[in-house]
Amino acid sequence: MATKWTGGHSTGVLCLDANCEGLVVSGAEEGNLVTWSSEGCPVSSLKLGADDITYVSFSRTDSNTLYTSHGEAISILDIRCLKEAAECFKVNEDEINCLSVNETSSHLAAADDSGSIKIIDLANRKVSRTLRKHSNICSCVTFRPQRPHSLLSCGLDMQVMLWNLQKTRPVWTVNFQELTEEEEEEEEMQQQAGCQLFNPPLVHFTSVASCGNVFACGAEDGKIRIFRITGTRFELEHGFSGHSLGTSQVHFLNLSHPYWLLSGGNDGKVALWDVGERILKDNRSPSKTTPRKKTKASSPAKKGLATKECNLSAQTCKENKSNHPLAKLSIDHGAKVNWLSSAEIKGRKTILVADHTGCISLYPLTNL
């Protein structure tokens, strides 16, 4: 049974984060921002205009500094004095979907509906790069742990890209539409799992494990895909059906090992997966793939792009078919999941879930 935090929002909660001290912050529709005590009481609130707050993220080097996105703006706040933004940037071309601050707090990345990613140099307070390769909405961007100049992005163009801040082009790209073509052999298994076969694999979210080399993607086809990065490329390690509708959220948690993965979906389910059972067991380089001959329709090289593409072989698909993990924890939340986070609440690791109701739901994690 979930514990509910109420009284902070009258509109749907869109995003959550918690700092190292356990302070939780939530962003909602119509510009409402709230901080919460461990007792579940609203501590302070702020209205950041009329636009929805789409992302909140604490600095990893200063637990009092909070980065938020609302509309086309980025506000930097001091949570000790939540009266107005300390600074505000308006550098994006369209509504911002995601923010990411690297571990050293030297750079901030902001992904928007135009498909662009603005890289802000936080020391100089100016845009240092604009990354433009997504042809549709860029839904998520995230810096890699232990690698402050490397980041990943994904979008509704079904592309996942690996970037280096020293370059304006991605160093590696994977097309999820091509992955699904190779995964068609799994159709029978997916039907048994209740997957929506006709949903395109629009990529909603990425999360990187603390090692910096393993990351997960959640997509509209309900699948969760695990990749491993080696040097300047990444390849699929494992893919499985996580939700019967789109997988909207994936987050790695550091519990008994760093490869516990939390997922949430449009089916109203929250699940916890131990993807480390495969990663730690294999302890090897990424799955070797056999590149297929590119068709004219799918070849980015024809357009003069300098990016490389990784294609999953049918052999790997068959291997994944027999290695579908079972959820270690499955929660019927009952509402479409807008956001997932975790925090230490009263000495217990806790899952926090945001949805359209305006409440924050808490589920304890035990014995993990």
128-138 pLDDT tens trace? 999 999 999 99
| Phi, psi values for residue 319, rounded to 5° | -65, -40
* Average pLDDT value over all residues in the chain: 87
Pair 84, 98 in one domain: no
Is there a domain that residue 305 lies in? no
Does position 297 have pLDDT exceeding 50, yes or no? no
Pair 224, 190 in one domain: yes
Does position 40 have pLDDT exceeding 70, yes or no? yes
Does position 172 have pLDDT exceeding 80, yes or no? yes
Pair 157, 82 in one domain: no
Pair 155, 50 in one domain: no
Quick: pLDDT tens for 236-278: 999 999 999 999 999 999 888 899 999 999 999 999 999 987 7
Pair 224, 272 in one domain: yes
Are 209 and 218 within 8 A, CB to CB?
Answer: no
Would you give the distance in Å from CA 236 to the centre of its chain? Answer: 17
Pair 60, 101 in one domain: no
User: What pLDDT shows up at residue 282?
Assistant: 62
Are 165 and 129 within 8 A, CB to CB?
Answer: yes
The three-point CA angle 309-116-128 to 5° equals: 105
User: What pLDDT shows up at residue 1?
Assistant: 75
CATH classification of the domain holding 20: 2.130.10.10
H or E stretch at 342: strand 339-345
Q: Which residues contact 306 (CB under 8 A, 6 or more apart)?
A: 169
Is there a domain that residue 161 lies in? yes
Domain total of the chain = 2
Is there a domain that residue 56 lies in? yes
Is there a domain that residue 297 lies in? no
Is there a domain that residue 311 lies in? no
Mean pLDDT of all residues in 350-360? 97
Task: Give me the long-range contacts of 344-350 (CB less than 8 A, separation at least 24).
Answer: 344/22, 345/22, 345/38, 346/38, 349/253, 349/255
H or E stretch at 185: none
- Cα 42 from Cα 46, distance rounded (Å): 11
Quick: pLDDT tens for 79-105: 999 989 999 999 999 999 999 999 999
Q: Closest Cα to residue 73, out of 57, 95, 58? A: 95
Q: What CA–CA distances, in Å, run from 221 to 115, 202, 236?
A: 21, 7, 16
Q: What CA–CA distances, in Å, run from 208 to 33, 176, 213, 361?
A: 26, 18, 7, 24
Q: What is the pTM of this model?
A: 0.86
Q: What CA–CA distances, in Å, run from 207 to 113, 141, 229?
A: 20, 9, 13
3-state secondary structure of 320: helix
Pair 121, 78 in one domain: no
End-to-end CA distance of the chain: 18
Q: What's the token pair of residue 288?
A: 């070797």
DSSP assignment of 89-107: E---SS-EEEEEE-TTSSE
User: What pLDDT shows up at residue 179?
Assistant: 87
Pair 234, 104 in one domain: yes
- Cα 26 from Cα 35, distance rounded (Å): 6
Pair 124, 150 in one domain: yes
Range of the domain at 156: 93-281+325-332
Pair 65, 205 in one domain: no
Pair 167, 231 in one domain: yes
Is there a domain that residue 220 lies in? yes
Is there a domain that residue 319 lies in? no
Alpha-helical regions (H) of the chain: 176-182, 187-192, 276-282, 314-321
Is there a domain that residue 26 lies in? yes
Are 215 and 169 within 8 A, CB to CB?
Answer: no
Q: Which of the residue ranges 187-191, 221-225, 289-293 has the most confident prediction, judged by mean pLDDT?
A: 221-225
User: What pLDDT shows up at residue 323?
Assistant: 61
Pair 153, 232 in one domain: yes
